[in-house]
A and B are shown apart, each in its own frame.
Chain A
Amino acid sequence: MDWLSRQFSTRVIVLIPIAIAINIVLGATVQQALKLPVYLDSIGTILVGVLAGPIAGLITGVLANLIWGYLLPAPIGTTTIGPFAITAGVIGLLAGIWGQLGLFRPRRQAAGRSIAGAIVAAVLVIGLAFYTYSRAYASATDFQNNTGFDPTVIDQSRVFFLLIMFAFVALISWALVLRRDVGAVYAIGAGLVTGIAAALVSAPIAAVVFGGVTGSGTDLVVAAFRAAGDSLIASTLKQGLLSDPLDKMITSFVVFLIVGNLSTRVVARFPNGDKLVQLDEPAPELPAASSPLPPH
């Protein structure tokens, strides 16, 4: 990881451990204290990705899970989380790409153009979700071949697709009422896509390492799909496509709120700073970022 970390400024090097702590603290403590059915264990990863780019996000995700799994004492550290380092890395990588595309930028004074952009983005996300769900919730063999046209299969995919869409639209509406900021549409949409990707990556890991379960409440859902005759990997995927997009939409929105509430002065110093500051403010002068290697 040396050639990776060498390109980071000292600020990013300092941010990553703190973000890992945020992941674990909000992931473990909040779940224990508040007993909510969302994980919220990737706020730090997505935050680093958005602020500092895909590579920093990837490192944060991978390290967070490895440390959480193997370097913390038993009550907090749970070895079962370690293998999902790959998923966490993908989440951080994607967040970095979304950050560089400017999807987490506040867009308070929404012009017609950005409203139109948000609608286009939402339609794209919904289209992608529809495609994924209609394929994934086809029966186990159909997911690989995608040839069958069994009406009961289609029903299952519709139900789950509509469930996620309901959450997506509800969250966006709530965000728009709460913040009056079109930017939330982009952030929540990015979260939905991240969640789908996370589910696709997690399913084979859960299947190979854990025989399809993870020891959490969601195992009941996995068991239900198994009972209906799905294969190991299909049932974990179906479970993941229910909980991951939900969790990542909420997480992305939380990160969007955090970035929006940080002062311009702080945000502008990070590598993605110029893509996160609202455009109608004067463009920040780029920091003479303390580059890790001196010019000689």
Chain B
Amino acid sequence: MTSEAPADDRHGIPAFVVRVPAGPYRSLNPVTKLVIALSEVILAFAIGSWSGPILVLAVVLGCAAIAGILRPLWVIAAVTLPVVVSILLVNTFLYPGAKDPIITVGPFAPTWTGLAFGVQVTIRLLAASLALAVAYLTTRTDDLLTELERRGLGRRSTFLIGAATETVPRTITRAGEIVDSQRARGLDTEGSWWKRARGVLPLAGPVVFGALTEVEERTMALESRAFSAPGRRTMIRHLPDSGVQRWFRRALIAVLGLIVIGRVLGALGWVP
């Protein structure tokens, strides 16, 4: 299904740079996985009240099972738990205009309409969130950016996204260190609201100003490495793609386009 780049095509690039992703689902071209994920998100919102979200969720879980990532996927699903609980509670108990109570206990009257709506929103939310999570868990950001750049994304956009995903975890680590050191110096993170509010400044100050001084150094370092040279960059990595995947992507986008156009026409009242 995948066509491997010939070995003599490597021009002496070391194997650890070539890094062809292996394994079921993972070895698909990153763009294919991205198109699948975005299609699933759109479908979850575009098709029917029940059928779309349930269908998408089933497909997402199927892909996850093939890729063998069900376990990390549960972790991500668990993070959405507070929202899910909130959605179910608020809608079940407080759905405006619903008049089919499941049970009435004093002022509380949960309704079937509200519960149904809450479950529907939950399934749709999970389908959309997990669709993107599957793409994230099976694709390295670096691989996706390589493919997008090969397809015409400029070096500036590529760097912007790459640097952002790289900078965030590093800054979080540093902020954690600052919080710890401020705590060691007696920062009050437990006291009254006003005390905690005053605690924000010694915390935010070093993070923000430390980061901003980096801007100058990084700008000069990039310029002295010819970042703003004209033209397209040399591509050193080549991720496998195949004719099957190309046609699959085109077909998916075409079907999606038809569904969205149908929905828009339907919303405008031009189609019964």
Taking Cβ atoms with an 8 Å cutoff, the residues of A that contact B are 1-2, 5-6, 8, 10-11, 13-18, 20-22, 24-26, 28-30, 33-36, 40, 43, 59, 63-64, 67-72, 74-80, 82, 140, 208-216, 219, 222-223, 226-227, 229-232, 254, 258, 261-262, 266, 269, 290-294, 296
Of A11, A214, A262, chain B has the most CB atoms within 10 Å of the CB of: A11
Taking Cβ atoms with an 8 Å cutoff, the residues of B that contact A are 45, 72, 75-76, 78-80, 82-87, 89-91, 93-96, 117-118, 121-122, 124-125, 128-129, 132-133, 136, 141, 152-154, 156-157, 159-161, 163-172, 175-176, 179, 189, 193, 196-197, 199-200, 203-204, 207-209, 211-212, 214-216, 218-219, 222-223, 227-230
A6 and B94: CB pair below 8 A? no
B136 and A71: CB pair below 8 A? yes
A17 to B219, CA, bound (A): 12
Mostly, the B contact residues are helix
Contact A14/B79 with A5-B156, A213-B87 known, Cβ cut-off 8 Å = no
Contact A21/B79 with A72-B168, A223-B90, A266-B216 known, Cβ cut-off 8 Å = no
A230 and B200: CB pair below 8 A? no
Given contacts A78-B80, A210-B83, A211-B90, 13 further A-B contacts (CB under 8 A): A2-B153, A10-B219, A10-B228, A17-B168, A21-B164, A21-B167, A24-B172, A25-B171, A80-B125, A215-B86, A223-B94, A254-B204, A290-B219
Of A215, A216, A231, A262, chain B has the most CB atoms within 10 Å of the CB of: A215
Of B159, B208, B227, B229, chain A has the most CB atoms within 10 Å of the CB of: B208
Contact A30/B203 with A2-B153, A35-B196, A226-B94 known, Cβ cut-off 8 Å = yes
Contact partners of B228 in chain A: CB under 8 A: 10, 290-294
Contact partners of A15 in chain B: CB under 8 A: 215
A22 to B168, CA, bound (A): 8
B200 and A22: CB pair below 8 A? no
Shortest CB distance A14–B (Å): 5
A13 and B189: CB pair below 8 A? no
Of A1, A30, A292, A293, chain B has the most CB atoms within 10 Å of the CB of: A30
A18 and B156: CB pair below 8 A? no
Q: 20 A-B pairs, CB-CB below 8 angstroms?
A: A2-B157, A5-B156, A10-B227, A15-B215, A17-B160, A20-B164, A20-B167, A21-B170, A24-B168, A34-B200, A43-B204, A63-B164, A67-B165, A68-B168, A72-B165, A209-B125, A211-B122, A212-B87, A231-B96, A258-B212
B216 and A5: CB pair below 8 A? no
A226 to B72, CA, bound (A): 35
Contact partners of B94 in chain A: CB under 8 A: 223, 226-227
Mostly, the A contact residues are helix
B223 and A1: CB pair below 8 A? no
Shortest CB distance B77–A (Å): 9
Q: How many A-B residue pairs have CB under 8 A?
A: 213
A266 and B212: CB pair below 8 A? yes
Contact partners of A20 in chain B: CB under 8 A: 164, 167-168
B167 and A17: CB pair below 8 A? yes
- Residue from A18, A29, A210, A212 in contact with B212 in the complex, judged by beta carbons closer than 8 Å: A18
- Residue from A2, A68, A213 in contact with B86 in the complex, judged by beta carbons closer than 8 Å: A213
Contact A210/B204 with A11-B215, A294-B228 known, Cβ cut-off 8 Å = no
B172 and A25: CB pair below 8 A? yes
Shortest CB distance B110–A (Å): 13
A82 to B41, CA, bound (A): 12
Q: Which residue of B lies closest to A59 (CB)?
A: B160
A286 to B83, CA, bound (A): 49
Contact partners of B215 in chain A: CB under 8 A: 11, 14-15, 18, 266
B171 and A33: CB pair below 8 A? no
B164 and A16: CB pair below 8 A? yes
- Residue from B156, B167, B193, B212 in contact with A8 in the complex, judged by beta carbons closer than 8 Å: B156
Considering the complex of A and B, which 8 residue pairs feature the smallest CB-CB distances, nearest first?
A215-B83, A211-B121, A226-B94, A79-B129, A21-B171, A17-B164, A215-B82, A17-B163
Shortest CB distance A219–B (Å): 5
A34 and B83: CB pair below 8 A? no
Q: Which residue of A lies closest to B207 (CB)?
A: A25
Contact partners of A1 in chain B: CB under 8 A: 157
B157 and A5: CB pair below 8 A? yes
A291 to B141, CA, bound (A): 28
A67 to B233, CA, bound (A): 24
A13 to B158, CA, bound (A): 10
Shortest CB distance B260–A (Å): 15
Of B124, B164, B200, chain A has the most CB atoms within 10 Å of the CB of: B164
A34 and B189: CB pair below 8 A? yes
Contact partners of A6 in chain B: CB under 8 A: 154, 156
Contact partners of B227 in chain A: CB under 8 A: 10
Contact partners of A34 in chain B: CB under 8 A: 189, 196-197, 199-200, 203
Shortest CB distance B53–A (Å): 12
A2 to B156, CA, bound (A): 8
Contact A30/B200 with A67-B168, A72-B169 known, Cβ cut-off 8 Å = yes
Contact A211/B96 with A30-B203, A80-B80 known, Cβ cut-off 8 Å = no
A11 to B90, CA, bound (A): 46
